[in-house]
Chain A
Amino acid sequence: MQGVKIAQIPDLEIDPITLDIIEGALKNARHEMDAVLFRTAMSPVIREQHDEFPMITDPLGRMVVGQFGSYISEMMAAYPDTIEPGDVILTNDPYKCGGAISHVNDWLILVPIFFQDELVGWASMFGHMMDMGGPLPGSLPTGAKTIHGEAMMIPPVKIFRRGEPVDDVIAMILNNVRMPEMNRADMMGIVAGCRTAEKRVIEICDRFGKDTYLAACQALLDRTLTAMRKLILQNIPEEPQSFEDWVDDDGLGHGPYKMKLTIWREGDHAYFDWSGTDPQAVGPINFYLNEGMFKMFIGVYLIMVFDPQILFNDGFYPLLHVIIPDGSLLHPKYPAALGCRTHALTRLFDVLGGALARKSPEHTTAAGYGTSPYMLYSGFDREGDFFYLMEISYGGIPGRPIGDGMDGHSWWPLFENIPTEYLESYYPVRIDGYTTIRDSGGAGLHRGGNGIEKRYVYLEPGEVSIHDDRWLTYPWGILGGTPGRRSEKLLKRADGTEQRLPSKCDEVAVSPGDMLVYRTAGGGGWKDPLERPIEKVEADVAKGLVSTQKAADEYGVIVGDGEATVARREALRTARGTARDFDTGPDIEDILARCEEETGLPAPVRQKPLAWAKMETPEEAMRRVREQDARTS
Chain B
Amino acid sequence: MAYRLGVDVGGTFTDLMLVHDESGQIFRVKTPSTPADPSEGVLSGVRRILEESGVAPGDLSYVMHGTTVATNAVLEGKGARVGLITTRGFEQILHLARSQTPGPLAGWMIMIKPDPPAALEDTRPAHERMDARGNVVEALDDEQVGRVVEDLVASGVETLTVSLINSYANPAHERRIKALIAERYPGFPVTISSDVLPEFREYERTLTACMNSYVRPKVAGYVKNLENALGDLGLSCAVNILRSDAGLMSLETTQEKPVYGILSGPSGGVAGALAVASRAGFDDILTFDMGGTSTDVALCQNAQPTITRETELGHFRVKVPSVNVHSVGAGGGSIAHVPELTKALRVGPQSAGAVPGPACYSKGGTEPAVTDANVVVGHLPPSLIGGEMTLDTAAAETAVRTVGDALGLEVHQAAQGILDIVNENMAGALRLVSVQRGYDPRDFALVAFGGAGPLHANAVAKLMGSFPVLVPPGPGLLCAEGDLVADFREEFARTFIRTAGSATSEEVVSTLRELGEEANDWLEREGIAADRRSITWSVDMRYYRQGYEIPVTVTLEDLEAHGISLLVERFNSLHEQFYGYAMPAECEMVNLRAIGIGKVPHPRVQEAQEAGGPDPAAAATAQHQVYADGTWLPSTIYDRAKLRAGHRIPGPAIIAEYDSTTVVLAGHHAVIDRFLNILIYPDEA
* Chain A interface (Cβ < 8 Å from any Cβ of B): 16-17, 19-21, 23-25, 28, 32, 35-36, 38-44, 47-48, 67, 181-182, 184-185, 188-189, 191-192, 195-196, 223-224, 226-227, 230-231, 297, 300-301, 304, 306-307, 309-310, 312, 365, 394, 397, 400-403, 406-417, 419-422, 424-426, 430-436, 452, 455, 542-545
Contacts and interface: CB of A to CB of B under 8 A. Distances in A.
B89 A411 contact: no
B530 interface: no
B585 A192 contact: no
Interface in B401-426: 407-409, 413, 416-417, 420-421, 424-425
A413 B104 contact: yes
B545 A432 contact: no
Contact of A421 (B103, B166, B343, B344): B166
Given A365-B109, A414-B102, 17 more contacts: A38-B547, A38-B548, A309-B339, A309-B344, A402-B110, A403-B112, A409-B99, A410-B100, A410-B101, A412-B101, A419-B203, A420-B90, A421-B132, A425-B497, A426-B545, A434-B92, A543-B119
Contacts of A312: 104
From B93, B165, B342, name the one whose CB has the most chain A CB atoms within 10 angstroms: B342
B309 interface: no
The 9 A-B pairs of least Cβ separation, nearest first, read A433-B89, A413-B103, A17-B417, A47-B547, A424-B132, A416-B98, A543-B120, A421-B200, A307-B339
A309 B425 CA distance: 13
Given A40-B579, A185-B583, A16 B345 contact: yes
Contact of B546 (A42, A414, A420): A42
A306 B101 contact: no
B173 to A, nearest CB: 14
Nearest to B421: A20
Contacts of A184: 583, 585
Given A17-B420, A416-B99, A307 B341 contact: yes
B123 to A, nearest CB: 9
Interface of B: 88-93, 95-96, 98-113, 119-121, 129, 131-132, 137, 165-166, 168, 200-203, 339, 341-346, 407-409, 413, 416-417, 420-421, 424-425, 428, 431-432, 436, 497, 543-548, 575, 578-581, 583, 585-586
A439 to B, nearest CB: 14
A542 B95 CA distance: 14
A32 B342 contact: no
A417 B545 contact: no
Nearest to B585: A181
B203 A397 contact: no
A505 to B, nearest CB: 24
A181 B581 contact: no
Contacts of A24: 421, 424-425, 428
A300 B105 contact: yes
Contact of A188 (B104, B165, B583): B583
B344 A20 contact: yes
Nearest to B201: A419
B108 A397 contact: yes
Given A16-B343, A24-B428, A306-B339, A425 B200 contact: yes
B343 A223 contact: yes
B579 A36 contact: yes
From A48, A226, A412, name the one whose CB has the most chain B CB atoms within 10 angstroms: A412
Given A17-B345, A40-B579, A413-B101, A48 B547 contact: yes
A222 to B, nearest CB: 10
B421 A21 contact: yes
Contacts of B120: 543-545
Nearest to A299: B105
Contacts of A407: 92, 95-96
A296 to B, nearest CB: 8
B137 A430 contact: yes
Contacts of B546: 39-42, 47, 185
A186 to B, nearest CB: 10
A240 to B, nearest CB: 24
24 contacts: A17-B345, A17-B416, A21-B420, A35-B436, A39-B546, A39-B578, A181-B585, A184-B583, A185-B546, A304-B106, A407-B96, A409-B96, A409-B100, A415-B101, A416-B98, A421-B132, A425-B132, A430-B129, A430-B131, A434-B89, A434-B90, A435-B90, A542-B121, A543-B95
A433 B98 contact: no
B150 to A, nearest CB: 19
Contacts of A196: 580
B315 to A, nearest CB: 13
A96 B424 CA distance: 40
A16 B547 contact: no
A211 B103 CA distance: 32
From A38, A48, A543, name the one whose CB has the most chain B CB atoms within 10 angstroms: A543
A416 B103 CA distance: 12
A312 B342 CA distance: 12
Contacts of A436: 92, 95-96
B424 A21 contact: yes
A42 B341 contact: no
Given A188-B583, A227-B341, A409 B101 contact: yes
Contacts of A230: 341
Given A410-B100, A425-B200, A16 B344 contact: yes
B344 to A, nearest CB: 6
Contacts of B137: 430
B491 to A, nearest CB: 20
A28 B132 contact: no
B88 A433 contact: yes
B436 A42 contact: no
B89 A435 contact: yes
A431 B108 contact: no
Nearest to B96: A408
Contacts of A67: 104-105
A570 to B, nearest CB: 29
B260 to A, nearest CB: 22
Nearest to B168: A421
A421 B544 contact: no
From B91, B104, B497, name the one whose CB has the most chain A CB atoms within 10 angstroms: B104
From A21, A24, A309, name the one whose CB has the most chain B CB atoms within 10 angstroms: A21
A192 B345 contact: no
B101 A422 contact: no
B496 to A, nearest CB: 11
Nearest to A409: B99
A420 B109 contact: no
Contact of A192 (B90, B132, B579): B579
A402 B109 CA distance: 7
Contacts of A40: 546, 548, 575, 579
Given A413-B101, A434-B92, A435-B92, A17 B166 contact: no
Contacts of A455: 89
A23 B344 contact: yes
A604 B431 CA distance: 55
A300 B585 contact: no
Contacts of B436: 32, 35-36
A378 to B, nearest CB: 15
B581 A16 contact: no
Contact of A406 (B101, B104, B168): B101
A205 to B, nearest CB: 16
B346 A309 contact: yes
Given A32-B436, A307-B339, A436-B95, A406 B421 contact: no
A432 B89 CA distance: 6
